[in-house]
Amino acid sequence: MNNKILLVDDEVLQLKIIERLLKSNGYQCVSVTSVQQAEEVLKNFVPDLIISDYEMPEANGFVFRERLLKNDDLKNVPFLFLTSFNQDDLVQKGLDLQALDYIAKNIPATQLLAKINNIMNTVHEQYQKSLSEITNIAKRLNLNIVPTKAPLLKNFEIHYFNHSYQNHPGGDFIDFIKVNDRYTFLILGDVMGKKWGAWFFSFSFLSYIRAAVRICVLDGTLSLNDILKKINKVIYADDFLRDIFSTLSMVLVDDDEAKLIYAGAGDLPLLKFSYQHQQLLSYKSEGILLGFLEDSNFPEQEIAFEVGEEAYLVSDGMIDFEVNAVKKSDINLLKQRLYDLKISGKSTEEIKEILFNSQASQIDDCSFIIIKRK
């Protein structure tokens, strides 16, 4: 829920009263006493609402609002005037500057709070509505970045999970391409970035990947190295994706031989729990991020499986943790958790549930694929 408010007023007492009112009703407030201070704060902080006085020394509220409207990053942040200058011409000018409201300072506290609550609820509802509309359009265009079901194989069970970050779509994408009864491709990618930007570009990457796999299969090629080289080349040549990079893990399941071929581009290692060694093994791929170099190599490795063994493909959100308000990336923490779960005899489904419940302080979208030898 949106709850960050920037308060701008040169009257310190007034500022404190409103701040207390808002904080006691669940809002987070940053309070400043001048437009200059507000502009400094806004360099590193985008609030959900700005409430500003009109009359202030040096720059007044109108000047502040005019400057905000010229700033692409801030012009759409909802803005309210809260002031004791309430002549009709000032109210009109404030509203002409696309302020949502122009409120008199002598308004009763309960009414002020109700107005702010209504604005925040409307903004949130509007956002959810837009999100739902875009998601529906994406669905109609078949722009799914996560498949609706896992492929059914003779010798392997495939489980997968994708969890968005704060309900925003992200850059992770998953795909399964079943070539025939013997071969199936499993794909996990992660476009570098967060939220909308990454989500948008993930479609471009997925389209190239799907096309490259199918074209190579039609040509009789199942070599992951060849497929990844082709994908990398077209992405490198695409000016639209010039500054956008993606990791990719690609696995070819050979269901007849019950083995996997794995190759990757800038991805996290494929992990496999080995009963024989009672340890979690890491298989590192050698490829560089898709789109960085025109010519890259993506060496393949074969992974043999004993009955009951499990392999895991993970996106980088799975190794980002926040502990005591400190963020860090730590693959060893994920490996330790997986190891403990396997040693304690947890089922594949339980591992999926527990891992995601334990991601309480998730700070990015998270995806993983579990490949279990039946």
For binding to another protein (CB under 8 A), which residues are involved?
43-44, 46, 171, 190, 192-195, 198, 242-245, 247, 266-269, 285-289, 292-293, 316, 320, 326-331, 363-364
In the complex, least distance from residue 304 CB atom to another protein, rounded to whole angstroms: 24
Q: Is 169 or 287 the residue whose CB approaches another protein more closely?
A: 287
In the complex, least distance from residue 311 CB atom to another protein, rounded to whole angstroms: 18
Q: Is 94 or 291 the residue whose CB approaches another protein more closely?
A: 291
Q: Which of 55, 93, 50 is nearest to 75 (CA)?
A: 50
In the complex, least distance from residue 142 CB atom to another protein, rounded to whole angstroms: 26
Q: Is the CA virtual torsion 191, 196, 197, 203 positive or negative?
A: positive
Q: Is 310 or 320 the residue whose CB approaches another protein more closely?
A: 320
In the complex, least distance from residue 319 CB atom to another protein, rounded to whole angstroms: 8
In the complex, least distance from residue 274 CB atom to another protein, rounded to whole angstroms: 21
Q: Is 215 or 293 the residue whose CB approaches another protein more closely?
A: 293
Tokens 């980002």 map to which residue?
320
Q: Is 97 or 288 the residue whose CB approaches another protein more closely?
A: 288
The dihedral over CA atoms of 25, 20, 114, 87, expressed in degrees to the nearest 10, equals -160
Long-range contacts of 58-63 (CB under 8 A, 24+ apart): 58/34, 59/34, 59/35, 60/35, 61/8, 61/35, 61/94, 62/93, 62/94, 62/97, 63/35
Residue 258 in contact with residue 321, Cβ under 8 Å?
Answer: no
Q: Is 134 or 192 the residue whose CB approaches another protein more closely?
A: 192
In the complex, least distance from residue 296 CB atom to another protein, rounded to whole angstroms: 10
Helices (H), 59-186: 61-69, 88-96, 109-140
